Amino acid sequence: MQLIHFRSCPNKKTTIFNTQININQFYGSLKDESAIPDQAKQEIKVACIEFVVLDYRPFKTLNDIDFKNLAQKFF
């Protein structure tokens, strides 16, 4: 997904790959994944990818404390 996002933003520098985490790194760092059903995790993952790609946001936005607080309120 990063490559597709990067190609749609030709004015961005190539260092973007060195400074932001990818979605797999983000989800791999979660502590208690067993509390969320697999289907819900997949739907959340897709929604987060769409949020990042469609709104041209860095993946690190998902790791922000305010975003995490919002996500926890949903659960």
Residues 32-69 as b/e (b if ≥16 CB within 10 A, e otherwise) read eeeeeeeeeeeeeeeebeeebbeeeeebeebeeeeeee
Local confidence band at 6 (pLDDT 50, 70, 90 cut-offs)? low
- Under a CB-based contact definition with an 8 Å cutoff, are residues 62 and 52 in contact? yes
Q: pLDDT tens digits, residue range 26-72?
A: 666 555 556 778 898 899 889 999 999 998 999 888 889 998 888 88
Task: Answer whether 0.85 is exceeded by the pTM.
Answer: no
